[in-house]
Amino acid sequence: MTGNGYSFAASRLSFVFAMRGPCVAIDTACSSSLVATHLAIRLIKNEECEDAVSIGSNCILSPRGAFSMFAIAGMLSSHGRCHTFDSRANGYQRGEGGAAIVSSSSDKHCLIYSGSSCLHNGQSATFTALNGSSQQHLLRVATKGKMTASYVEAHGTGTSLGDPVEMGSVSGVLGSTGVAVASLKGNTGHMEGTAGTGGLLNLIGTIVN
């Protein structure tokens, strides 16, 4: 009874590690762990906690259910991998993994969040299709209209529909400036609930190295 609800995963960790701050389980599909990091930063800024851990995890225990439905719907790559930003893009490959981000009010850490934003796509051609103008608006809100970048960690699932829209949104905000674009999914597959924190760690690793 205490193992099947979404809320229990987060509360169990708070219980084990004796953490008393806000404890929230978030399900926004692929962006879940990234939204969790966004909210963690807001909680710290609101002084509801000094430190926060946002965690994403994905474990495929059975081919039944989601895996079968995604395959029947034609969403998965017949090549068994995410061909991100590739002419061979024909769907994505599901991946497993876990990743955690520690956010803190302390200034002793090597990286500083300069801004983040969380908005819905609104209406688009279909329920699962992207909206380029919404993505551009999201980027401008997050950067307060002053976006410059040398590297962009993209969602990049490796689909012929999503990748071009995402690249169009990035170029629409950054213009013709030189910027490197990559996605962790080309190496790990789409880790779904872990996609956000995994991508953020990939970004951090790229910056640090």
C-beta of residue 143 within 8 angstroms of C-beta of residue 137: no
How many beta carbons lie within 10 A of that of residue 102, not counting itself? Answer: 12
Asked if the structure places residue 161 within a domain, the reply is yes
Q: What percent of the chain has pLDDT over 70?
A: 98
Asked if the structure places residue 167 within a domain, the reply is yes
- Pick from 21, 30, 77: which is nearest to 49 by CA? 21
Q: pLDDT for 116-159, tens place per residue?
A: 889 888 888 888 788 999 999 988 888 887 777 888 999 999 99
Asked if the structure places residue 35 within a domain, the reply is yes
pLDDT at 63: 82
pTM, entire model = 0.89
Provide the mean pLDDT of the chain: 89
Decide if pLDDT at 56 tops 90.
Answer: yes
pLDDT at 186: 92
Asked if the structure places residue 1 within a domain, the reply is no
Asked if the structure places residue 112 within a domain, the reply is yes
Instruction: Look up residue 90 and give its two tokens.
Output: 């024909």
pLDDT at 27: 93
Looking at residues 170-176, what average pLDDT do you find?
84
- Give the domain range for residue 128: 6-208
Asked if the structure places residue 130 within a domain, the reply is yes
Residue 128: give its domain's CATH number: 3.40.47.10
Which residue did the predictor score with more confidence, 209 or 101? 101
pLDDT at 146: 76
Of 27-31, 172-176, 191-195, 196-200, where does mean pLDDT reach its minimum?
A: 172-176
Q: pLDDT for 62-116, tens place per residue?
A: 888 888 898 898 899 998 999 999 989 999 999 999 999 999 988 776 677 788 8
- Parallel, antiparallel, or unpaired for β 97-104 and 180-182? unpaired
- Pick from 34, 204, 209, 184: which is nearest to 111 by CA? 204
pLDDT at 110: 67
Domain tally, the chain: 1
